[in-house]
Amino acid sequence: MSNLVSEVPLQAKYNPEGNAIDAGKATSWYGYGFDQFKANAGVWIGMVVVLFVIMFVLNVIPGIGPFIFNLLMPAFFGGLMLACQAHRESKPVTFEFLFAGFKDKFGSLALLGLIWMIGFFVVSMIVGVFAVAVFGGAIATGAAFGSASLMGLGFSALLGFVLLAMLIAIPLAMAIWFAPALVVFHNVAPIDALLMSLKVSLKNWAAFLLFFVLYIVFAILASIPLGLGWLVLGPVLIGAIYAAYRDIFLA
pLDDT digits (tens, 9 = 90+) for 168-208: 778 888 999 999 999 999 999 999 999 999 999 999 999 99
Q: What is the largest CA-CA distance in the chain?
A: 71
- Return the pLDDT at 226: 84
**How far apart are alpha carbons 174 and 158 in whole angstroms?**
25
Per-residue pLDDT for 84 more than 80? Answer: yes
Asked if 150 and 138 count as a contact pair (C-beta separation under 8 A), the reply is yes
pLDDT-derived band at 123 (thresholds 50, 70, 90) equals confident
pLDDT-derived band at 65 (thresholds 50, 70, 90) equals confident
Highest mean pLDDT among 121-130, 197-206, 223-232: 197-206
If you write DSSP's letter for every residue of 108-155 in order, what string do you get?
A: HHHHHHHHHHHHHHHHHHHHHHHHIIIIIHHHHHHHHHT-HHHHHHHH
**How far apart are alpha carbons 242 and 120 in whole angstroms?**
23
Per-residue pLDDT for 150 more than 70? Answer: no
Look at 19-23, 133-137, 145-149 and tell me which has the smallest mean pLDDT.
145-149
Mean pLDDT in residue range 84-90: 95
Question: pTM, whole model, 2 decimals?
Answer: 0.84
Classify burial at 23, counting beta carbons within 10 Å of its beta carbon; exposed 0-12, middle 13-18, buried 19 or more: middle
- Return the pLDDT at 172: 85
Instruction: List C-alpha distances in Å: 51 to 26, 73, 76, 214, 248.
Output: 25, 9, 8, 23, 27
- Return the pLDDT at 151: 45
3-state class (DSSP) for residue 187: coil
Could you tell me what percent of the chain has a pLDDT over 70? 80
Instruction: List C-alpha distances in Å: 75 to 56, 129, 159, 183.
Output: 17, 32, 35, 10
Per-residue pLDDT for 6 more than 50? Answer: no
Mean pLDDT in residue range 134-160: 52
- Return the pLDDT at 132: 65
Instruction: List C-alpha distances in Å: 243 to 3, 101, 190, 216, 230.
Output: 11, 19, 21, 19, 19
Count of CA atoms in the C-beta half-sphere (13 A) of 146: 0
